Chains A and B, each alone.
Chain A
Amino acid sequence: MIRVEKLTKRYDATTVVDDVSFEVERNSITVVVGTSGSGKSTLLRMINRLVEPSSGRVLLDGADTRSEPAHLLRRRIGYVIQGNGLFPHRTVAENVATVPRLLGWPDERIQARVTELLEIFQLDPALYAGVLPHQLSGGQQQRVGVARALAAEPAVLLMDEPFGALDPIIRAKAQEDLLAIQRRFGTTVVLVTHDMDEAFHLGHSIAVMSEGRLLQYDRPATLLTQPADSFVARMTGLSDRALKLLALTSAGDAVLPGESEGPRVASSASLREVLSELLWRRADSALVLGEDGAPRGQLTVAAILARAHP
């Protein structure tokens, strides 16, 4: 879907992004994580050419992104930034309609799309379409920012620290919304963050960057079990890596045959959550329920612990 080849950005003597290559799968969420100054934002901005690379190239569906004017490329790629960047003088509906308008969609289609998106993002169009951004709460503004980025149905969505300005509760909600939206539209998402927990929570793949270099690009579990170097290991968190690993597997994926008198857990719960529940209740095993509520099997503390190491 997105192929980054030997991408490098230099400003005078400093190299901000240094020879980075990786490939993003279609319909997946890839999280680029790193400390500030690691070059992660510059890397993202080179994908939609807000920053032009010094060398290397980006292929989108096999085509070099430089084969069309930058502004036309950007209209095909959703873009969300921290603090959302809503236009303060435009209403919510006008903000969401930005890219469809640039693309010259007919009015009825724009109207229908805006209404659809506001409903998806739990913003009643009757109440919110006509208000200005400063009349919204922080969480609502953030949702409008994402809705605006998705308005023209882009195949790719780039997000630069999209939840950085939100408080923890609203941030958790925004993350769940993103996962739901991504499943619904199958959008290919590249998200930049400095928050490792966010990366593990959202990412199908994680790219760890430091000082402009890509240290490791892997599945989250691989990052934990086989960190490329000590920096990646420290970034992913040595103290709770066993629990992080458990958090990556759902009860449904680890369920074993059998019955249990213990607490009932949903198959969508992570092993970390199931373990916590078992410890809290001083139980040895839990009954795993499917989405339909029927028992699917059981999980024991021992079985969970067996998955907590490489």
Chain B
Amino acid sequence: MSGLAITAPRERVDRLGLLLTTVGAAALIGLPFVVFKSNRIVPGEPRALHEVLPLWGALGLQFVLLGNAAVALGVADARRRLVAALAGIVVLALAVAAAANALTPPGNKVVRIAPGGASWVLLLCLGLMATDAITRMRPRPLVRVLLLVLTLAIAGAALSRGTFDNLSVMREYAVNAGRFPGEFRRHVWLAGGSLIAALIVGLPLGVLCHRVPRLRPPVLGTLNVIQTIPAIALFGILMAPLGALAARLPAAAALGIRGIGAAPAVVALFLYSLLPMVADTVIGLRRVSQAAVEAALGMGMTGSQVLSRIELPLALPVILTGIRVVLVQNIGMVTIAALIGGGGLGTFVFQGIGQNAIDLVLLGAIPIVALAFSASVLLDALIETLERSGSASPGAAS
């Protein structure tokens, strides 16, 4: 591979490319390509690339990966790097799927074939190469969203066509197919619901803290303390009061409020969400040009007109940053809600841990990562669009 690097004599070798190539090559040589288990429980047996794919397939994949290494090391153009990385990911995924198909005896639903260390490391390297290329391209927000949609569409099409059906994660999906959509929706609902609750309470609280500076230290201090309570402890703390509430008020119980389940999970997530919501609202409002606020008041806007027409629109990008933090944080933290019967994708994660079935853990974890990543890309694009439209451009000096 060092020979390939010399093809770009005057340019220095791309450092990230060098790292990714080294790590990827080491993984391909030293780690199994897939792991074979004759059933779900037994320890896996490592299988190397040449053991699972026909010769032309193994050589073909290695050829594509070599090409990727050459691009990573010697090509500076970000677009070509992105195309190469994406092509590499697709070929790698297809190779893993082909390996799973080859290793699965026809009609056998008991064997489990999972991607091995080499596949994961290569996926990580190619993923990093792609993200790095996208960062270098600085695409417009709309382009980033389109890239996300395209990626999700391709992944969705492959999944619905059954391309990966013989992989262990999809085997676990097939077993849990009845429960998966419900838990997925529940996960989104728990994360989104607590965000909306935090928005309804946090936004006015942030405005209040901005208007009454004396309130700021106690409010932010309290929310800070809440942040330091571990999630499990907070669930425990909430169980007693919510349980008591349900026991006293039948109406509350009828609404689904109980000591365990979704209620303490949503309340805990809501409490965690308040700090970023309130803090970012305060920061956003403080960043608004004082000259603009003074001029608005001086021209006869009422206090609420100044807030709705000047302060909130100008603070919006920062407030959206808070919403982004909260949403991504919640999507991850909802996972723990499964521990107290709150449901969501965490159910699969904890079942998988309990059964020592890593594939079941992945069935929960991969959609969680995809959800958090998508939410982050979408909100980032929204924030940048607003900033480009001039909302966040600083006012003239006052």
Contact = CB atoms under 8 A, between A and B. Distances in A.
Interface of A: 48, 50, 71-76, 79, 81-89, 98-99, 102, 132-134, 138, 141, 145, 148-149, 158, 165
A71 B391 contact: no
Nearest to B394: A88
Given A50-B294, A50-B297, 9 more contacts: A50-B298, A71-B301, A83-B396, A85-B298, A86-B395, A87-B310, A102-B300, A102-B305, A134-B393
Given A132-B390, A165-B396, A165-B397, A85 B300 contact: no
Given A84-B396, A86-B395, A89-B391, A72 B299 contact: no
User: Which A-B residue pairs are the 7 nearest by beta carbons?
Assistant: A85-B295, A75-B300, A79-B298, A85-B291, A74-B300, A132-B390, A83-B398
B314 A48 contact: no
B313 interface: yes
A85 B393 contact: no
Contact of B299 (A75, A133, A138): A75
Contacts of B390: 88-89, 132, 134
A116 to B, nearest CB: 18
Nearest to A132: B390
Contacts of B293: 85
Contact of A74 (B298, B313, B394): B298
Nearest to A165: B397
Interface string B257-295: 000000000000000000000000000000001011111
A87 B391 contact: no
B300 A72 contact: yes
B39 interface: no
B300 A83 contact: no
Contacts of A134: 390, 393-394
Contacts, number: 90
B22 interface: no
Contacts of B398: 81-83, 85
B356 interface: no
A47 B299 CA distance: 13
Contacts of B299: 74-75, 79, 98-99, 102, 148-149
B296 interface: yes
Nearest to B295: A85
Q: Which of B298, B299, B391 has most chain A Cβ within 10 Å?
A: B299
Q: Which of A88, A98, A133, A148 has most chain B Cβ within 10 Å?
A: A88
A88 B395 CA distance: 6
B295 A81 contact: yes
B302 interface: yes
A165 B397 CA distance: 8
